[in-house]
Structure 1
Amino acid sequence: MNQSAMIRPDWTPATIALMVLGFVVFWPLGLAMLAYILFGEKLKTFKKDANDTVDGMCSAFKRGGRRSNWTHRTGNVAFDDWREAELARLEEERRKLDEMREEFDTYVRELRRAKDQEEFDRFMRDRKNGGSGPIVEAH
């Protein structure tokens, strides 16, 4: 942490003044400033621990680890085989849909680029021919 900062979780004249001012204006502000002075250094480690915990819980839902958490065996071999086949089929469908979405996004991007290029070329032609381009009135 930058130790030259005026407002850091420590007993500095600035933090004490803010705490007193907080109590004078509205007591919860003073209490919050006191908590920051006392526990401010721990907030950084608390935030890191909380983020690590949430990241660990959510990592199961990321694209690569999705199936591994849902593939427990039931004991019925026929059902388990059918479920595995269906999950594989659905994953293949998802992959195809993702590829189609990427192709469509590329198509739309190129279509917009072509339209922009056409408008720019038209503007340059109009400008070269002596006009300043069509003037559009705002309504």
Structure 2
Amino acid sequence: MNTTALIRPAWTPATIALMVLGFVVFWPLGLAMLAYIIWGDRLDGFKRDVNQATDGFFASCKGRGRHARGRHGGFGRTGNVAFDDWRDAEMTRIEEERRKLDEMREEFDGYLRELRRAKDQEEFDRFMTERKRQRDAGEPRPNEPKSGPTLLDD
């Protein structure tokens, strides 16, 4: 049995004929065939890379969260015990640092909320004292029309 394919990514009579036919029927088909002839030899590596990426993505989707990934955080054992122990210790240290940073961020967010609340309270108190002062002095409020004759009072 012949092990070579009739349509392979090379300049063979069959691929040239398909390319010309593709351009005649619908030009994107001819362009696709030309791309296959030129870059088709890289297709196997591209397919392998895409398959590895999708396999890795769906494997990570299978077990969401740190607990589902197990003790090694999603990484398998390398066979080097010293390296695996060092990596586990580093991952634990990094997770602890992440937890501390998250706590500090929450504290800072709380501080900012309290600061905004205090500023808003100060502005509101200032507005209320100004309003009370204007009422006591008999001054009209900013949105209230001034009393007195107008053009419509004929």
Q: Which has the higher helix share?
A: 1
Using the size of structure 1 for normalisation, the TM-score is 0.49
Q: Is the radius of gyration larger for structure 1 or structure 2?
A: 2
Q: What TM-score results when the alignment is normalised by the length of structure 2?
A: 0.44
